[in-house]
Structure 1
C-alpha cells in the first residue's frame, strides 16, 4: 500500500472558508489527490504569534538558545520547523496584502528561518539545511499582477522565492486568481484561468 503524500497547508487569509486563496489551494489538493493518497495538515498562520524579544536574543546568543522554556518562541519555532521538515509538500494559501504577503504568513517565515537550524551563513552566502520538496503557492490578488495589464507591483512571489530558497526550498510553483476586487464575471473568469493552469500543470505528462 502506497504511503500517503504528507501535505502541510498554510492558510494565510483571515477570511476562513470565504477565502479565495483557500479555495484555490483546494484545487491543488484535488489535483494531487488524483494520482496518490494524501495526508493533509492545515495550519492557520493567523493564530501564530509573532516572534518576540526572547527569540531575537536566542538568535544573537547561542547561550540563550540553550535555555528555551516550554511554550516560548524558541520552542514554537522548533515545533514549526519539525512540522515543515516532516512533510513532503508545502502548500501555501495566501492573499496578497499591499503588494506582498500578509503579516501572519511573514510571522511563520520568521519562525522557520533559523540560522544554524534551517540555514547556515557562509562566506559565499546563506546555505539552506532543509531538503528540497515541492512548494505550491495559491495566491489571490485584488488587482492584476501578471501580464501586460498588470498595474501593481508584486513583492509576494519574489519574497517567498528568496526566503524559502534560503532554507533549501527551491522547487516552487505559483497559481494565482488575479483581480478578485473586480468581482462578477471577471472573477469567475479569473478562477477558471487559475484552475486551468493547475489542471495543465498536474495533468498527464
Structure 2
C-alpha cells in the first residue's frame, strides 16, 4: 500500500495534524509495510499558480504547447496522487473553507486533459478512484444541531476531488477546538477516529 499523507496546518501540534497522524496509524496497523509519501504544506508550502502555468492552462492551444517548465510541479503532484493507493489529508477549517495552502495543491492537480476532461455535461475525472480520508479541525461547530457556522469545506473538497475521479471520500472532524482542553481534545480525536471506516480500502484495486 502506498499512502500519500498531506498536512496543511501551520501549527506543529494542531488538532488536524494529530487527526491525520491517527488515521495513518490505523492504516499502518492493517498494512505495516505501507510506504508513506509526505507533503507538509506548512513546512514546504506550494507556490500559487505562476503566470506561465496560468497561461499554459488558459486555452487548448497553449495547453497543447505548454511553456517550458510550466507544468513540472503540477505533473510531480499528480504523479504522487496517481502512485497513492490511499490519500490522507489533515486540514484546519480556515474561515469556513480550506486553507490557501491546500487550495494551491488543488489548483495544481486539477488539470484539463490530464486529470479531468470537459464534456457537455461537466468535468469527468481521468484518475482512478481510491480512498481519501480527510481529517478536519474546526474552532467552531459546523455539523449537527449545535452548528454555529456554515461549512464550505466538505462540499468543496467533495466537488473538486470528484472532478478528477476521487469519489471515495471519508471526512472525520474534531470541532469546537477553540473551547476544548487537552483531555477533551483527546476524547474528541478518539471519537472521530472511531468513525473511521477502514473497509473502504478494500475497494482499492491496487492493494
TM, length-normalised to structure 1: 0.89
Residue 68 (str. 1) matches residue 30 (str. 2): no
Question: Secondary structure in 1 aligned to 2:114?
Answer: coil
Give ranges in structure 1 of 5+ residues lacking alignment.
Answer: none
Counterpart Cα distance in 1 of 2:35 and 2:66: 34
Residue by residue, what CA displacement relative to the aligned partner does 1:127-164 show, whole Å, maximum 9, x if unpaired?
A: 10000000000111101112111111111000000000
Report SS of the residue matched to 1:97.
coil
Q: Which residue in 2 is equivalent to 1:42? A: 38
Q: Distance in 2 between matches of 1:196 and 1:25?
A: 13
Question: Aligned pair 1:87/2:84, yes or no?
Answer: yes
Identify the match of residue 187 of structure 1 among 165, 185, 188. 185
Which one of 113, 135, 140 corresponds to residue 138 of structure 1?
Answer: 135
How far is the alpha carbon of 1:189 from its aligned partner? 3.3
2:14 equivalent to 1:15 = no
1:195 to partner: Cα distance: 2.6
Instruction: Please list the CA deviations of residues 46-75 of structure 1 after superposition, one character each: whole Å capped at 9, or x if unmatched.
Output: 4100002211111123443434334x4x21
Mean Cα deviation higher: 102-111 or 78-87: 78-87
CA RMSD of aligned residues (A): 1.6
Alpha-carbon distance between aligned partners in 1 of 2:198 and 2:114, rounded to the nearest angstrom: 33
Contact 2:6 2:39 in 1 (8 A): yes
Q: Which residue of 1 aligns with 2:205?
A: none
- CA distance in 2: counterparts of 1:141 and 1:86, whole angstroms: 30
Task: Establish whether residue 202 from structure 1 lines up as the match of residue 198 from structure 2.
Answer: yes
State how far apart, in whole Å, the 1-side matches of 2:162 and 2:59 are. Answer: 24
Residues 7 and 20 in structure 2, CA contact (< 8 A), matched pair in contact too: no
After TM superposition, the structure 1 stretch with the greater mean CA deviation from structure 2, 159-168 or 81-90, is 81-90
Answer whether contact 1:179 1:190 (CA < 8 A) is retained: no
Whole-angstrom distance in 1 between the partners of 2:155 and 2:184: 26
